[in-house]
């Protein structure tokens, strides 16, 4: 078993970046510990506040955000952070080289039912020659990410990470408090018979997605001529982890349920990091009309449609959008 530091050194990853990922992992270990204490630590339930997205904040959303924010801003490596739980960017060190976007606790509606949640992160460099800390610095397409990953807090705590040289999976060994390498190269199978989507939104989708999912459900009685199975964890981090582990297609498509919010998932700290991982594992990630990592962001909390996973299945789905 290898720890992730020596493994990343083999890839010639910059020592500052390794140090930043290590720092981030220190806060994720603490989140993992607190989650496992659960009800005993009085950390379940909601606060009385809403975040910028208008969603009720869970106590653990707030705690996780604070833990990650504090450690990153004090690291000396980070110029600024953008978090799902912060209205605006927060400045760190003047000389910090990195910008970190994160969702401190994705799938937080799962907290109270003791189910899967995770931390998602995306790391970029400050564009050359730029001083201070501005929101504009963050508005770089996903292709500019130098690292991305998530920590999944499940029966075991796992880190899934890319620095642009494939995808590795590490498992937290609680006896020594270290992430150990448990899968050197995660690859998404090209074909699948499993899909993940919130079916209760079906009537609100656009025509191409309605037709695609109808054809999956028709199984071997329809044009696809094979049966599909459906899984929905209601935490993107859990659904994407399944796709990375055994293939599948995950989508949160555009819908008309809330006309003010046609897309649910956030580009900078959900769709981009997951797209980087999925592409590095041989999969495809798109809005239906555009590669997600090529979107030019216009603001840090913007939302996008997401279709990602097994290459051949995502390509089939994209065929319906042409």
Give the interface with ligand F6P as residue ranges (CB under 6 A): 106-107, 198, 234-236, 252, 264, 270
Counted residue by residue, the chain has a size of 322
Q: In this structure, what token pair is assigned to residue 203?
A: 């009537």
Q: How far is the CB of 97 from ligand F6P (least distance, A)?
A: 28
Q: How far is the CB of 156 from ligand F6P (least distance, A)?
A: 20
Name the nearest CA neighbour of 264 among 236, 290, 225, 230: 236
Three-state DSSP state, 74: coil
Q: How far is the CB of 198 from ligand F6P (least distance, A)?
A: 4
CB 106 within 8 A of CB 235: yes
**Residue 125 or 270 having the CB closest to ligand F6P:** 270
Q: How far is the CB of 38 from ligand F6P (least distance, A)?
A: 19
CB 234 within 8 A of CB 252: no
**Residue 106 or 125 having the CB closest to ligand F6P:** 106
Name the nearest CA neighbour of 264 among 71, 53, 117: 53
**Residue 23 or 285 having the CB closest to ligand F6P:** 285
Name the nearest CA neighbour of 192 among 305, 317, 320: 317
**Residue 95 or 109 having the CB closest to ligand F6P:** 109
Q: How far is the CB of 83 from ligand F6P (least distance, A)?
A: 13
Rg (CA), the chain: 19
**Residue 16 or 112 having the CB closest to ligand F6P:** 112
Q: What share of the chain is helix, strand, coil (3-state, %, to 5)?
A: 40, 25, 35
**Residue 17 or 116 having the CB closest to ligand F6P:** 116
Q: How far is the CB of 264 from ligand F6P (least distance, A)?
A: 6
**Residue closest to ligand F6P when measured from CB atoms:** 236
DSSP 77-102: SEEEEEETT-SS-EE--TT--EEEEE
**Residue 186 or 235 having the CB closest to ligand F6P:** 235
Show Cβ contacts of residue 241 under 8 Å, excluding neighbours closer than 6 positions. 116, 118, 150, 152, 158, 160
Q: Please state, in angstroms and rounded to a whole number, the distance separating the CA atoms of residues 202 and 197.
A: 9
Q: How far is CA 170 from the centre of its chain?
A: 16
Handedness of CA 215, 216, 221, 225 (dihedral sign): positive
**Residue 264 or 311 having the CB closest to ligand F6P:** 264
Q: How far is the CB of 132 from ligand F6P (least distance, A)?
A: 30
Name the nearest CA neighbour of 278 among 186, 158, 196, 181: 186
Q: How far is the CB of 129 from ligand F6P (least distance, A)?
A: 34
Q: Please state, in angstroms and rounded to a whole number, the distance separating the CA atoms of residues 199 and 217.
A: 11
**Residue 92 or 107 having the CB closest to ligand F6P:** 107
Q: How far is the CB of 308 from ligand F6P (least distance, A)?
A: 12
């Amino acid at each position: 078993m290898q720890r992730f530091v020596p493994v990343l050194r083999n890839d010639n990853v910059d020592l500052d970046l390794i140090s930043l990922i290590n720092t981030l992992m220190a806060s994720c270990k603490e989140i993992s510990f607190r989650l496992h204490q659960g009800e005993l630590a009085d950390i379940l339930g909601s606060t009385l506040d809403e975040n910028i997205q208008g969603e009720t904040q869970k106590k653990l959303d707030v705690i996780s955000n604070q833990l990650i924010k504090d450690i990153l801003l004090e690291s000396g490596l980070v110029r600024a952070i953008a978090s799902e739980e912060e209205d605006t960017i927060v400045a760190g060190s003047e000389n910090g080289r990195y910008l970190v976007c994160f969702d401190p606790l994705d799938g937080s509606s799962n907290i109270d039912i003791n189910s899967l949640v995770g931390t998602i992160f995306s790391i970029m460099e400050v564009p050359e020659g730029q001083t201070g800390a501005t929101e504009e610095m963050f508005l770089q397409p996903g292709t500019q990410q130098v690292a991305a990953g998530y920590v999944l807090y499940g029966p075991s705590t796992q880190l899934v990470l890319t620095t642009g040289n494939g995808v590795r999976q590490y498992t937290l060994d609680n006896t020594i408090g270290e992430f150990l390498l448990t899968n050197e190269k995660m690859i998404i199978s090209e074909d699948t018979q499993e899909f993940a989507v919130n079916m209760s939104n079906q009537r609100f989708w656009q025509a191409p997605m309605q037709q695609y999912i109808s054809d999956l459900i028709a199984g071997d009685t329809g044009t696809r001529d094979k049966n599909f199975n459906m899984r929905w964890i209601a935490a993107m981090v859990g659904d994407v982890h399944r796709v990375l582990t055994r293939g599948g297609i995950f989508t949160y498509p555009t819908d008309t349920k809330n006309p003010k919010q046609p897309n649910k998932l956030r580009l900078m700290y959900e769709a981009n990091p997951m797209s980087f991982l999925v592409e590095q594992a041989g999969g495809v990630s798109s809005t239906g009309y555009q590669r997600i990592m090529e979107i030019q962001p216009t603001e840090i909390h913007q939302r996008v449609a997401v279709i990602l996973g097994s290459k051949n299945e995502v390509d089939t789905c994209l065929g319906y959008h042409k």
